[in-house]
Amino acid sequence: MSRVLYKTKADRIADAAIYTLLALFGLLTLFPLYFVFVMSITPYSEVLRNGGFVIFPSAFTWEAFDAVFSSKTVPQALKVTVTVTVAGTFLNLLVTTMLAYPVSKKYVPGRNAVLMAIVFTMLFSGGLIPLYLVVRATGLINTIWALIIPGLVSTFNMLIMKTYFENLPAEVEEAAKVDGCGDIQTWVRIVLPLSTPIMATLGLFYGVGHWNAYFAGIMYLNDKSLYPIQVVLRNMIQTPNVSQELAIANPLTLAALPPETIKMATVVVAIIPVLVIYPFLQRYFVKGMLLGAIKG
């Protein structure tokens, strides 16, 4: 029979202290997001009245979001970012799985040499200038592919997926081969369906990386119509003339709005998609990381 464990008074006090600290830490973590959102919907008059710091606004307005979405820059940047995130994540997962699956098999000739070469790239890199020269020589400068191809495979993610493949039951693949499946059929019909947790986890890593990337856009893009949302946001923060950066046809629409409110609204637009998608993938997150990082 199982015994019921009763907590002492000291245990309850310790639990209360731990939960209090965790709650305070959670509030401190969420406060910047809350402040950004509040500032984006607070009327200009109230912002001025409170010295630019508002926690509980007395009124709400969506004028900042109207200005952001009526511009030419932000909708185009969102379109570019969504395209790069979707296409880039798909190609990342495709190439990563195609590389991780063969090197997870010990009978593949040259497996150790390939693994050493892959790990070497994680420890040592050619540097920023050689990378730019390679991207320019391949004709990717000022194209959307410059935001996808240079980071097509993450060595760290590939090693996690390799370990996950090594943990899959060998009997399942052997049964598929007995039924007449080749290596590619086994990979497509057996391995990939069993790899949903790790695919979701690494897809989240790749997707968030693409969505938040801005340095590649600064390095490789000159055409403003190809700028992702993070580059647009960076340029907005660095320039005092927000209306010019947003390319709004009628700058008078910003006359009643402070530049900081426009910037806050753009930040909210940039972070909401990730916050919306993450809860749907969270159930795969811990499972995928544990199965991919621990070899049984």
Rounded-to-5 percentages of helix, strand, coil across the chain:
75, 0, 25
Residue 65: which pLDDT band, with cuts at 50, 70 and 90? confident
Q: What is the pLDDT of residues 24-63, one digit of tens each?
A: 998 898 888 888 888 887 776 666 666 667 777 777 778 7
Mean pLDDT of 267-292: 72
62-296 CATH: 1.10.3720.10
Per-residue pLDDT reduced to its tens digit, 96-131: 998 888 888 888 888 889 888 888 888 887 788 888
Residue type, 123: L
Residue ranges of the domains in the chain? 1-61, 62-296
Token pair recorded at residue 117: 């070469």
The answer to whether 43 touches 35, Cβ cutoff 8 Å, is no
Q: Which ranges of 104-256 does DSSP label H, i.e. alpha helix?
A: 111-123, 128-137, 155-167, 170-178, 183-186, 192-194, 196-212, 215-220, 229-238, 242-246
Chain position carrying tokens 């990381």: 289
pLDDT at 278: 76
Measured at the CA of 72, the angle between CA 228 and CA 82, to 5 degrees, comes to: 30
Res. 256: pLDDT tops 70: no
